[in-house]
Structure 1
Amino acid sequence: MLGLQYTRLALDHWRKWLPKMYREMRKDGTLNAEAQKASKEAAAQVASLMEAGYQKHEAEAVVLPEYILLPPEK
């Protein structure tokens, strides 16, 4: 289950809701690496929760806001 399935979701969300962070990481050349890192961490956490008995959608509801669907910039 470890993988990069959340990378595109992260990039799309960050571009729309965190434009300053997105631009800074893109300028620094760290955007893709950070999105992949977040995706791997999220996938690992989702897998762990699923092993503990969560359904996939329940695990994603817990994990994605922490790693992928970050709160919008002000």
Structure 2
Amino acid sequence: MAMFSNWIRDAREHWKEHLPKMYSEYERNGVLQQKLEEAAEQTFDEVYDLERSGISPDEAWQMVRERYLFLPEEKPY
């Protein structure tokens, strides 16, 4: 998991700020770290697959990062 430490740190900060309900629920249930690691692994897997299909690393990152790590902000209601 060390190779994903920056992604996990950045996602943790993003989730805490933009997804406070989800963040609190995961923290309360003791699964926050697991969910962050899963998000990093899923991101890596998809970026890797896209790179293998000929997409540049930067483009692959841009395509995938908001699917797992940098999720859209929670609705206020």
Tell me whether the two structures share a fold, i.e. TM-score over 0.5: yes
Mark the structure with the bigger radius of gyration. Answer: 2
Aligned runs of 1:58-69 on 2, under 5 Å?
58-69=59-70
Question: What SS does structure 2 have at the residue aligned with 1:71?
Answer: coil
Partner of 1:4: 4
Partner of 2:58: 57
Give the Cα–Cα distance (whole angstroms) in 1 for the partners of residues 58 and 17 of structure 2.
23
Question: What SS does structure 2 have at the residue aligned with 1:73?
Answer: coil
Structure 1: which 5+ residue stretches go unaligned? none
Partner of 2:30: 29
Give the Cα–Cα distance (whole angstroms) in 2 for the partners of residues 48 and 55 of structure 1.
11
Structure 2: which 5+ residue stretches go unaligned? none
Give the Cα–Cα distance (whole angstroms) in 1 for the partners of residues 16 and 34 of structure 2.
15
CA RMSD after TM alignment = 1.1
Q: Say how many residue pairs are matched.
A: 72
Instruction: Normalising by structure 2, report the TM-score.
Output: 0.86
